[in-house]
Amino acid sequence: MLTDAVAQLAVKNGLSIAHIPVQVEQPRFEKQGDFACPCALALARVLHRSPMDIAEQIAGYIGDLPSEVEKVEVARPGYINVFIKPGAWFDMLEGLLNDPARFITSDVGDDMSVLIEFVSANPTGPLHVGHARGAILGDALARVMAAAGFAVHKEYYLNDRGNQIAALGRSVHVRGRQQHGYDDELPENAYKGKYLIDIAKRIMESPDAIGFKLQYETLGEPDSNPLATTASRMLQEEIKKDLEDLDIRFDNWFSERSLYREKRVEQVLTRLQGKGLLYELQDGAVMFRSTAFGDDQDRVVIRSNKQPTYFASDIAYHDQKFRRGLDRLINIWGADHHGYIPRMHAAMKALGYDPEKLEIILVQMVSLVQGGKPVTMGKRSGDYYTLRQLVEEVGKDAVRFIFLTRKADAQMEFDIQLARSRSLENPVYYVQYGHARLRSIIAKAELSIDDIEFRPELSRFLQHPEEQQLIKKAAMFPFTVEQAALTRQPHLVAFTLMDMVKTFHSYYTRYKNTDKVLSRDPDKRAARLVMTAALARIIKEGLNLVGVSAPEVMNREP
């Protein structure tokens, strides 16, 4: 409807419809309609006309309204508001009951290929809670984008060479020698975590054990000798296992070391040199002219000791990603990488790529609280809380859901005691309990959820305001999934589930003694069972979309 109307406007004004964003959003207030299209606001800059005039013209092109649309209004400053007939929301529940998985999917992504790179923690220690937030955000985003019709691939970039791997090897070497009775002390830049004692013991016990009696320098290159690479490989396997326990799996694990083995770093620097974009300092360091592409200063790509920087590796890695011909690249980084974005976009532009195809999502820090006290998290310190510990303490579902209860750019505090409680203050328990309550109502009716029959005429028996709200929330859920995918905000799914359950709990409590869901009136009973089944279906599919289970039976704390 709106797309056709905007297309007519485009033809009349000599514009291409491909350059006009026909997007809809959900208004904040009910009086503003069920959907709002702000495209007139964007077109005002192109047509040099009032957004209200443009919106009025678009509305005039709509013509006969579809059967499910009640009316279309134009509102300041230039929105086109669409109102859906109440009965139309109920009619949508038929598709939800028949095929819930298909109901929440769409083709809005148009099979656009997307590579999401996330976590990418150095393989120098177990994942800690700080890594968990980016891991869950990335995996949930991949799930909602796939549901919205994008062709999604997930990748983990392994920084498996360089100074941090050399420091890991030296740290394990000292721990191994200590096990042999030597009084070696850890160097200043060492990793001090006790996990390295276990790594050293496992290496000592392996059939191809590396001799810890030798000095580290005699083992070979600091970051590529057998001790360093073996320790790194062991930790990679632990990282992989920890992520799998969170139901997070990657399509590809990309090795930084492969960039050097295949001379990709050398090649990409040669290309930049050929464009006149590298220059050498007096101390021998080589700089990239990133200021020519919008960065605030030029960046080092080769240190004065002739070793490439991490930035050089990242340029080569992203060059390799662009060469795959993907439509969109999404990186999920910690908020401390904010200053890294301009230089990466500059490098891609210098290589001839469209930097707009590279999206960076920044994830804010997490503070962990246990018993009202903060928990230390730091890989180089000897004492920190691992992701594995957190999953064992509160469970996969709580970890996944709670990390999605805040926007990625908002700092958050993860309360361990709350996360493991079986109370309605715990957000994941709150939603799961809502699903279990819905299923228990169906069970009390002595029906299975598949037995519930949809009939359009039942809509008139759902007259309570809360019932109308719940029907609309269920029917609108596919729109939520689309918005979560298009705006790269998977937390919208968690927010919507919590809001839906809150409305249902309120409805259930208000009428449980006066007008029960399982009414004695057969038509009301049938209509409310359709609503109940629809909500149960949506909550289950929504939880699955963020990687959380939907139990059918749950008990509360006494």
Average pLDDT, the chain: 93
pTM of the model: 0.92
Residue ranges covered by each domain of the chain: 2-84, 113-161+238-363, 163-224, 427-545
Mean pLDDT score, 519-525: 96
What CATH superfamily is the domain 427-545? Answer: Isoleucyl-tRNA Synthetase; Domain 1 (1.10.730.10)
Q: How far apart are CA 312 and CA 322, in angstroms?
A: 16
Looking at residue 382, what is its pLDDT?
53
Q: What is the pLDDT of residue 371?
A: 80
Superfamily name with CATH number, domain 113-161+238-363: HUPs (3.40.50.620)
- Strand-pairing partners, residue 71, are 83
What CATH fold (topology level) applies to the domain 2-84? Gyrase A; domain 2 (3.30.1360)
- pLDDT by residue (tens digit) across 154-204? 999 999 999 999 999 999 999 999 998 999 999 888 998 889 999 999 998
pLDDT tens, position by position, 7-61: 888 888 887 665 566 778 888 888 889 999 998 998 888 888 999 999 999 999 8
Range scoring the smallest mean pLDDT among 374-383, 397-406, 531-540, 541-550: 374-383
Start-to-end CA distance of the chain, whole Å, equals: 53
For residues 7 and 490, give the distance between their C-alpha atoms in angstroms, rounded to a whole number. 31
Give the whole-angstrom CA distance, residue 524 versus residue 464. Answer: 11
Check: CB of residue 133 under 8 Å from CB of residue 401.
no
pLDDT digits (tens, 9 = 90+) for 97-137: 999 999 999 999 999 999 999 999 999 999 988 899 999 99
pLDDT tens for 220-272 read 999 999 999 999 999 999 999 999 999 999 999 999 999 999 999 999 999 99
Listed residue (466, 442, 464, 438) closest to 526, CA to CA: 442
- Specify the pairing of strand 151-158 against strand 113-117: parallel
Distance CA 113, CA 119 (A): 20
Which pair of structure tokens corresponds to residue 245?
């326990």
- CB-CB contact of 502 with 424 (8 Å): no
Q: In this predicted structure, what is the pLDDT of residue 402?
A: 98
Burial 160-176 (b: 16+ CB within 10 A, else e): bbbebbbbbbbbbbbbb
Percent of the chain predicted with pLDDT > 90: 81
- Determine how β-strand 35-37 pairs with β-strand 79-84: antiparallel
φ/ψ of 242, rounded to 5, equals -60, -40
